[in-house]
Amino acid sequence: MNLPTNPTAQAVDSVLIYIFGFSLILLLGITVVTLYFVIKYRRSKYPEPTSEVHGNFWLETVWTVLPTIIVLTMFWYGWTNYLGLRNVPEGAMEIKATARMWSWQFEYPDGRKERKLYVPVGTPIKITMTSVDVLHSFFVPAFRIKRDTVPGMESRVWFEATEPGSYDIFCAEYCGVGHADMMTSVEALSVADYAAWLKPAAEVTAAPPKLEGRQLLEEYGCLGCHSEDGSQLVGPSFKGIGQRKVRIDRDGTDELIKVDRDYLIRAIKEPSADIVEDYPPIMPAGDYLSDEEIDAIVEHLLKQ
């Protein structure tokens, strides 16, 4: 078994092994002694009690004090390591995480937004996170970190990758039909790779980029529910959406309408208004999108 080398995983694992180790020793010890007495003093051999003991000061003192000390060391060890998980080290790089139904978005100090969490190896990373809709939970098993994201509140967690690689991120709080789709990853890059990854962003910030519809779909996690290749996900596919007619339920009557600009804008801003038949009314409203972003998305969709 390869134990992880990153600091947060080591903090959690060492306490787990410590407590589990003591528990295992006690379990085995008590079981062995119990079995020994059960066999040795069985009734067929000793039908009557062989001695009468009313107390033993030293024995009782030892079995009271010793477990107390053991339990207190478990508390102390757990508490100090917990503080290590809570207190972000100096010089940590801060990345903002936003959870929404049903995707993660990571925002870098330079304004760059990504669906995967790219980090350099050897630098502590502080994640400041919130949710725009319901409770989600940011869970990275490889770093042994898990923290809820709460609407209207900021929570934080830190970790440091010590080896380059890809580490799973899950949502660990049931948040609706797309909960299982809230999977992404920490991409830990070597310092050189990270610098190379960072470079294009510096060029982009020099001239404000034209909003690109396809990229926005990706950033806001739309593609988690709407496929681009016609395959069936939670919501209707984007393939051919600009040339499609959809059947909607309006005031209890079916209506066949052409997908146009107005319909798409309405579908983003008030997704529960004109729902395409046979789909559940579960899309969260895109009221956090700017008008420019909606324009770019609609323009892109109409060309599909």
Scanning the chain, the segments in alpha helix (DSSP H) are: 7-40, 57-86, 191-206, 213-219, 261-269, 291-302
Residue from 156, 179, 226, 239 that binds ligand CUA (CB under 6 A)? Answer: 179
Judged by phi (left if over 0) then psi (alpha if -120 to 50, else beta), residue 278 lies in: left
The answer to whether 129 contacts ligand CUA (rule: CB under 6 A) is: no
The answer to whether 171 contacts ligand CUA (rule: CB under 6 A) is: yes
Q: How many whole angstroms separate alpha carbon 117 and alpha carbon 106?
A: 6
What residues from 53 to 112 belong to the interface with ligand CUA (CB under 6 A)? 99, 102
CA distances from 153 to 128, 137, 284 (A): 10, 13, 19
Q: How many whole angstroms separate alpha carbon 100 and alpha carbon 288?
A: 11
The answer to whether 234 contacts ligand CUA (rule: CB under 6 A) is: no
Residue from 163, 174, 250, 258 that binds ligand CUA (CB under 6 A)? Answer: 174
* Residue 127 near residue 198 (C-beta atoms within 8 A): no
Shortest reach from residue 150's CB to ligand CUA, in Å: 12
Query: Of the candidates 129, 128, 127, 131, which has an alpha carbon nearest to the alpha carbon of residue 102?
Result: 131
Judged by phi (left if over 0) then psi (alpha if -120 to 50, else beta), residue 29 lies in: alpha
Binding mask 10-49 for ligand CUA (x = CB under 6 A): ----------------------------------------
The answer to whether 147 contacts ligand CUA (rule: CB under 6 A) is: no
Shortest reach from residue 129's CB to ligand CUA, in Å: 12
The answer to whether 182 contacts ligand CUA (rule: CB under 6 A) is: yes
Nearer to ligand CUA, 102 or 238 (CB): 102
Q: Which stretch binds ligand CUA (CB under 6 A): 14-22, 44-52, 84-92, 172-180?
A: 172-180
Query: Of the candidates 224, 243, 258, which has an alpha carbon nearest to the alpha carbon of residue 303?
Result: 243
Judged by the rule CB under 6 A, the positions of this chain that interact with ligand CUA are 99, 102, 136, 171, 173-175, 179, 182
